[in-house]
Structure 1
Amino acid sequence: MPWLASSQLECLSSCASQRQCERTVFSFYCAVREQLPVWVLEDMRCMEVLFWEDGHPRAFLPSEALLYALVHDHQDYARYLLNRYRVSALGAPRCSFCCRRGSGSPHLAVAVRYDRLSILGMMADALKDSQSALRDYLDSCGGCAHVADAGKTAVQLAVELSRSDCLLTLLVRGAQPDCLDAALQRLVSADAAARRHAQRCVDFLLLFLPKPPVPRRLHDDPRRWQSLLGDEVFSWLCGLAPPTLLLQALRCLARTGPDRIAALPDFLQRLL
């Protein structure tokens, strides 16, 4: 098109390149969704998939691929990425909305929101060699303000969504159990279908709190909370009695791993 100026030609060329990058990214998304083998996905990511950024194409990062694996629960691919790239696979990708370098732990938020329990455990295991780095990662918040889960830790999100199994996994790995008030509020507002998981979130937080604070809401309607929590737990939270021997035993057991709680017999499971 000789009638176009050189700047217009560059713009058209850039637009065409950008559309091509978008097509490759969408093809890769579909491939992960279809649960294609790991070697096929890695070949695509390394040789075919390009991401458009700052006016230029670039390679699709392992951290971006891990988000796709989380959304579609491709556990084999997630395991490969975490084993191969370790910490870099957990890095926050650049935000496509505000073009800022990502921060926080978007992978944790996605894992909790989509209830990807197995991959959540893999992510924590990737940082197990450094307990301080693992705790910092588990307690980090979302980044950009326009993201749905911005400013929330994974524990806060698990409580909000009543993801009790995810919450237990996070607490066992060292996340701070600092959402008791929110968990109690969720217990009150949850419908019948979610009440069981909301109750388990409260119970798991109680297992990991070194010394539970006295939530002010307990004094607002003590009879109601006493019926919801039981006499012994209510008295303990209000500072009127020490924790029972059973609660102390469960607190010790919970710290050894989430599988120990799952392995409890039914009559003890019903106490949680």
Structure 2
Amino acid sequence: MPWLLPRELERLCSSPSQRECERTSFSFYCAVRDRLPVWTLEDMRSMEVFCWDDGRPRAFLPSEALLYALVHDHGDYARYLLDSFSVSALRPPRCHFCRVGGCGAPHLAVAVRYDRVAILAAMLEALKAHEPPGTRRQYLESRGGGCAHALADASKTAVQLAVELSRADCLLLLLAHGARPDALDAALQRLGAASGAADAAQRRAAHRCLDFLLLFWPGAPPAAARPLQEEPQRWQRLLGKRVFSWLRGLAPPPLLLQALRCLAQSGPDRIASLPDFLLLHA
């Protein structure tokens, strides 16, 4: 049957058991998408729904169900999985396409990509409660994980992705829970690109991301930040003279920045609730 597409040929050659797994997997996906009650979804996951793996059916893992909950913003189901299975719900699932073992932190990447702030906060609290600081930081700083063909964000950390997408609330949560603020150049580039945008909310989000990175920077930022050297007058106008001079290594950090840094150590809620006029760029 050479006229058939590879996907159609594979469907015809698959066994009845595999086709049944595909059917039930899709029904589970739709059930999470429709935000059915938690008890219904968990009954389906543990007793009725199967996925095809290595030539045999198996039940969906909690980590796979959590990815569905993230995509469809089913907060109740996500919190149930985290409460019931703890950090095992955050283990990266194995790629079903090339059978590569799970690695990285795809749940963080998906939470940032879809801007699931509430679920991300629950995930980070689960890590804080059940993982030592070293292991928790290693997880926060790992790449998106998975395979490049299956996950576009596989090569980026959650912090880098949050800066790239201007997900300021997600970025604040990650930094407050110990992630390294290692995307300063990306934040400057993003701010530069957004400064000419007509959408004021987009410019404000890009500026907040840079502010949060500076708040959690462990010392003086590198004076050789490339965008600042290429267009110093433009960046002095965007950042203000004091912040620009500090980033170039020409002056100490502004007093407001030092005060906000102390406040940031007490938790993300303290910073997120501040009025706009207290942010650095003001």
| TM bucket normalised to smaller | over 0.9
Root mean square deviation, CA, Å: 1.7
Indicate if the aligned counterparts of 1:45 and 1:59 stay in contact, CA closer than 8 A.
yes
1:26-105 pair list within 5 angstroms:
26-105=26-105
Find out whether 1:213 has 2:222 as its counterpart. yes
Q: Secondary structure at the match of 2:26?
A: helix
Q: Quote the offset at 1:267 in angstroms.
A: 3.0
Cα distance, 1:252 vs. partner? 1.1
1:194-220, Cα deviation, whole Å (9 max, x unpaired) = 211111111110101122112032121
Query: Aligned partners of 2:119 and 2:12: how far apart in 1?
Result: 41
For residues 142 and 263 of structure 1, the distance between their equivalents in structure 2, rounded to whole angstroms, comes to 29
Indicate the SS of the match to 1:57. strand
Match of 2:141 among 136, 139, 142: 139
Residue type at the aligned position of 1:121: A
Q: What is the 5 A alignment of 1:180-191?
A: 180-190=184-194, 191=197
Which residue matches 2:232?
222
- For structure 2, the 5+ residue unaligned runs are 1-10
Distance 2:92 2:111 in 1: 14
Other-structure match for 1:8:
none
Contact 1:14–1:55 (Cα < 8 Å) also in 2: no
Give the structure 2 partner of residue 256 of structure 1.
Answer: 266
Tell me the equivalent position of 2:161: 157
Structure 2 CA distance for aligned equivalents of residues 270 and 177 of structure 1? 17
Contact 1:254 1:261 in 2 (8 A): yes
- Matched-pair contact (CA < 8 Å) for 2:108–2:144: no
Structure 1 unmatched ranges of 5 or more: 1-10
Letter in 2 for 1:183: A
CA distance in 1, matches of 2:35, 2:280: 36
Is it true that 1:239 corresponds to 2:249 in the alignment? yes
> 252-261 or 46-55, which moves further after superposition?
252-261
8 Å CA contact 2:211–2:279 kept in 1: the answer is no
| C-alpha spacing 1:188/1:233, structure 2 compared with 1 (3 Å) | same
Structure-2 change in CA distance of 1:12 and 1:180 (3 Å): closer
Identical-residue share of aligned pairs (%) = 70
1:5 corresponds to which residue?
none
Over 3 Å counting, the alpha-carbon distance change for 1:56 and 1:33 in structure 2 is: same
Cα distance, 1:13 vs structure 2: 9.4
Q: When the two structures are superposed, what TM-score results if normalisation uses the length of structure 1?
A: 0.92
1:170 aligns with 2:179: no
Instruction: Report the alpha carbon displacement of residue 174 of structure 1 after superposing the two structures with TM.
Output: 0.3
Instruction: Determine the structure 2 residue equivalent to 1:122.
Output: 122
Contact 2:141 2:158 in 1 (8 A): yes
Counterpart of 2:222, as a letter, is: P
Q: Take 2:163 and 2:177, find their aligned partners in 1: how far apart are those partners?
A: 16
Report if the CA contact (8 A) 1:160-1:186 is conserved: yes
Superimposed CA distance per residue, residues 216-248 of structure 1 (whole angstroms, 9 cap, x where no aligned partner): 321211101100110010011111111121110
1:100 is displaced (CA, Å) by 1.2
Cα separation, 1, equivalents of 2:164 and 2:211: 15
Q: Deviations over 1:68-100 (max 9, x none)?
A: 000111111100101111121001111122121
Instruction: Tell me the secondary structure at the aligned position of residue 126 of structure 1.
Output: helix
Structure 1 segments of 4+ aligned residues over 3 angstroms from their partners:
11-14, 269-272
Q: CA deviation at 1:56?
A: 0.5
Q: Deviation at 1:133?
A: 1.6
Q: Match of 1:7?
A: none
- CA distance in 1 between counterparts of 2:76 and 2:203 reads 33
Length-normalised TM-score, structure 2: 0.89
Matched residues in 2 for 1:270 and 1:41: separation? 45
Answering whether residue 199 of structure 2 is matched by residue 199 of structure 1, we say no
